[in-house]
Amino acid sequence: MISIGIGEIQKNTSIFANLTESLQIVDKRRKQILAMVYPVKKQSMVNSLAGKYKNKIPKIQKDNNIKEISMMKAMGDKYGLSS
């Protein structure tokens, strides 16, 4: 775990882009932990949920034409068109 101050983050924001391990953000004056930042995992968050919340979040539709589908839906809602 890396411990870093707020001033260091303001100077170098690329820390978040290259994050490989957890990061602890601390306030060095008050000596308090402000936040914990973890690296992004490539897997879906839905799979890591447990219990009753697992089925409540819809899975992301993997479609190459997502822009076209959303545009047709918006146009249908706006102008009353049906597909």
Q: What are the structure tokens assigned to 22, written together?
A: 């957890």
d(CA 16, CA 44): 20
Section 11-15 average pLDDT = 85
The chain-wide mean pLDDT, for the chain, equals: 78
pLDDT tens per residue across span 18-57? 788 889 999 988 889 999 988 876 555 655 666 666 666 6
Q: Is the model's pLDDT at 7 over the cut of 60?
A: yes
Q: Which residues pair with 23 in a beta bridge?
A: 2, 37
Q: At 45, which helix (H) or strand (E)?
A: helix 45-48
Using pLDDT thresholds of 50, 70 and 90, give the confidence band for residue 71: confident
